[in-house]
Each structure stands twice: as structure tokens, then as C-alpha cells.
Amino acid sequence: MRKIERQMNAAITKSVDWKCDNTEVVNIDGVSFVYLHGNKIAEVGDTFIRLYDGGYQSNTTKSRLNAILQDHGLGGEGVFQQAHQWFLRSKFGEDFSVIPFFSGMRLA
């Protein structure tokens, strides 16, 4: 995990506003909104994570989302790309499933 992603996750954990280079965390009413280049890529609350691609399915966006999932999601969750399409590996019940990624998807 990159240093900027560790700092981003610390801001989410502490519920504080933070900005460094191209990444920003804004906390409003207990929800952390994460932005990359001014585009929303995630919302992290106490009981949910909502993922967005910010209009750009870039390697940097994917890296930031995976950092968020690593620290705030369930173990083993992640966004990956195959044949130019994004997918989410997530835990549903006791099993992991792979589903197509769509902007605005919510993980509980």
C-alpha cells in the first residue's frame, strides 16, 4: 500500500478531513467521502462502503479503492481488471463472489 493510501485510510479511520496531492477525504455526518482528482471514488460509513470509479477506471483509482477495502472492508475483497473490465471480489455470506463492478455499488 502506498504512503498516500495509508494516510487516506488513517483520515477515514479518525473521521478527519485530509488532503494530499490528488487525494482528499472529507467527513460529513460520520461518512468519509474520498475524492481522486476531485472525483468521488468512495463513501465509507460505519456500516457500509460505496464504491465509484469517478468516471475513470484508472490504475490509481483501483489502487485507492483496494486500499480502502483492505483497511475498511472484509478481508479478501478487492477490485481487479480482466479483459479491460473491472470486477469486484467480495464476501457474500460465507463465500466470496466475483461480480462486475459498477459505479455506486454498495458493500454492507
Q: Assess contact for 88 and 101: CB atoms under 8 A.
A: yes
Specify if 66 maps to a domain. Answer: yes
Q: Tally the domains of the chain.
A: 1
Specify if 92 maps to a domain. Answer: no
| Per-residue model confidence (pLDDT) at position 94 | 77
Residue range 34-74, pLDDT digits in tens: 999 999 999 999 999 999 999 999 999 999 999 999 999 98
Q: Report the candidate in 77, 47, 46, 44 with the shortest Cα–Cα distance to residue 62.
A: 77
Cβ neighbours, 10 Å, residue 75: 9
Q: Assess contact for 23 and 34: CB atoms under 8 A.
A: yes
CA 22 to chain centre: 15
Specify if 61 maps to a domain. Answer: yes
Specify if 39 maps to a domain. Answer: yes
> Containing domain of residue 49, as a range?
3-75+103-107
Specify if 23 maps to a domain. Answer: yes
Specify if 82 maps to a domain. Answer: no
Specify if 36 maps to a domain. Answer: yes
Specify if 97 maps to a domain. Answer: no
Residue range 73-92, pLDDT digits in tens: 988 899 999 999 999 998 77
